[in-house]
């Protein structure tokens, strides 16, 4: 027998899918004009970068940004970065800061605060993203200075052979009339006021093992004052010189005397007459 004819409506039909509309093509980004294109980064008059430990640098790092036409470029971010181990930071305590260039194209970093470690470091200025431009500046932290050092007090410094000087030696270092803390001081027993000849006899300091030491490297305190370690006399009487010199050119010569105490004659007593 032949198959029964299909009833209308028994067949299953799939709905026609709705076509996905094409995504609109984004308009092409406009090509920046030469006036809007970053071209170069140049130094803007930054002088030598040098400061003493703990001080503030007189100079500030300054750069100028120019566009592709060579004209000053404003509103450009410039990042300044410190690299080194001196402990130097920008004012505010940071090693990296970003500054926006002004209408004349200049961007100036905050003031540099020198660290306590002597040595060299660099400051790098970077601008631009697609084709970054970089300028690197060399900088230096130098030792604290004192242009003058004087003894505090004027009492004669005298000791007997083989004995310790009873009075301590205290000095004060200054720079341009202001107390100079943290300044390196060298104390040397010398034969002459110029300190050209070191002395190998007479007064001395002691090292950690108690052995004679006639040269010491010391540092002034917070108020520029320095009290020297104890000084001892050997067995050689005479007048000796102690010379102290500072980083920065200060110097002073102090006299030390080693002498045998004068013996006091016994007082005569009168014998009463009988």
Residues 106 and 201 reside in one and the same domain: no
Residues 153 and 252 reside in one and the same domain: yes
Q: Which of 142, 157, 190 is the last residue of a domain?
A: 142
In this structure, is residue 190 part of a structural domain?
Answer: yes
Other C-beta atoms lying within 10 Å of the C-beta of residue 28: 6
Nearest one of 120, 250, 242, 230 to 183, comparing CA atoms: 250
The set of residues, in sequence order, having a beta carbon less than 8 Å from that of 39 and lying 6+ positions away, is 66, 67, 68, 69, 70, 73
Residues 77 and 120 reside in one and the same domain: yes
For 13-65, the pLDDT digits (tens) are 666 777 777 787 777 777 777 778 899 999 999 999 999 999 999 999 999 99
Going from the C-alpha of 269 to that of each of 264, 266, 272, the distances in angstroms are 15, 9, 9
Q: Which of 82, 114, 142 is the last residue of a domain?
A: 142
Residues 155 and 221 reside in one and the same domain: yes
Residues 228 and 153 reside in one and the same domain: yes
In this structure, is residue 67 part of a structural domain?
Answer: yes
For 162, the token pair is 């083989």
Checking if the pLDDT of 88 tops 70, the result is yes
Residues 152 and 249 reside in one and the same domain: yes
**Are 65 and 105 a contacting pair, CB within 8 Å?**
yes
Cα angle vertex 258, ends 233, 158, to 5°?
95
Q: What is the CATH classification number for the domain harbouring 100? A: 2.60.40.10
For 222, the token pair is 């917070």
For 148, the token pair is 């003058």
In this structure, is residue 17 part of a structural domain?
Answer: no
Note the pTM of the prediction, 2 decimals: 0.70
**Are 198 and 240 a contacting pair, CB within 8 Å?**
no
Q: Which of 123, 142, 161 is the last residue of a domain?
A: 142
Residues 175 and 115 reside in one and the same domain: no
The set of residues, in sequence order, having a beta carbon less than 8 Å from that of 36 and lying 6+ positions away, is 67
Cα angle vertex 75, ends 131, 122, to 5°?
60
Residues 252 and 160 reside in one and the same domain: yes
Would you call 63 helix, strand, or coil by DSSP? strand
Residue keyed to tokens 């108020």: 223
Residues 64 and 135 reside in one and the same domain: yes
In this structure, is residue 155 part of a structural domain?
Answer: yes
Residues 116 and 64 reside in one and the same domain: yes
For 124-148, the pLDDT digits (tens) are 999 998 889 999 999 999 999 999 9
**Are 98 and 125 a contacting pair, CB within 8 Å?**
no
**Residue range of the domain that includes 206:** 148-258
For 203-250, the pLDDT digits (tens) are 999 999 999 999 999 999 989 999 999 999 999 999 999 999 999 999
Residues 133 and 171 reside in one and the same domain: no
Residues 54 and 106 reside in one and the same domain: yes
**Are 238 and 135 a contacting pair, CB within 8 Å?**
no
- Structural domain tally of the chain? 2
- Position 3 scores a pLDDT of 53
DSSP state for residue 53 in the 8-state scheme: T
Q: What is the CATH classification number for the domain harbouring 190? A: 2.60.40.1930
**Are 179 and 171 a contacting pair, CB within 8 Å?**
no
- What's the CA gap between 100 and 60, in Å, rounded? 15
The set of residues, in sequence order, having a beta carbon less than 8 Å from that of 200 and lying 6+ positions away, is 214
């Amino acid at each position: 027998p032949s198959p029964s004819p299909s009833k209308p409506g028994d067949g299953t039909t799939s709905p026609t899918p709705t076509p996905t509309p094409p995504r609109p093509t984004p308009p092409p980004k406009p090509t920046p004009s030469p006036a809007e294109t970053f071209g170069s980064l140049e130094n803007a008059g930054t002088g030598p970068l040098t400061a003493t430990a703990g001080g503030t640098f007189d100079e500030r790092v300054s750069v100028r940004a120019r566009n592709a036409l060579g004209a000053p470029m404003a509103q450009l971010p410039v990042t300044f970065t410190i690299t080194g181990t001196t402990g130097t930071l920008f004012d505010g305590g940071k090693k990296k800061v970003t500054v926006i260039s002004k209408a004349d194209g200049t961007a100036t970093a905050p003031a540099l605060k020198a660290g306590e470690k002597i040595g060299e470091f660099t400051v790098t200025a970077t601008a631009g993203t697609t084709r970054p431009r970089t300028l690197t500046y060399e900088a230096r932290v130098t030792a604290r200075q004192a242009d003058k050092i004087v003894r505090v007090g004027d009492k004669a410094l005298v000791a007997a052979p083989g004995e310790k000087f009873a009075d301590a030696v205290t000095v004060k270092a200054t720079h341009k009339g202001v107390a100079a803390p943290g300044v390196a001081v060298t104390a040397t027993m010398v034969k002459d006021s110029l300190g050209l000849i070191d002395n190998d006899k007479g007064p001395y300091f002691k090292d950690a093992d108690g052995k004679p030491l006639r040269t010491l490297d010391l540092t002034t305190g917070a108020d520029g004052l320095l009290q020297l370690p104890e000084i001892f006399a050997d067995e050689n009487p005479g007048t000796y010189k102690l010379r102290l010199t500072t980083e920065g050119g200060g110097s002073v010569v102090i006299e030390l005397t080693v002498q045998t105490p004068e013996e006091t004659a016994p007082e005569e007593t009168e014998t009463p007459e009988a």
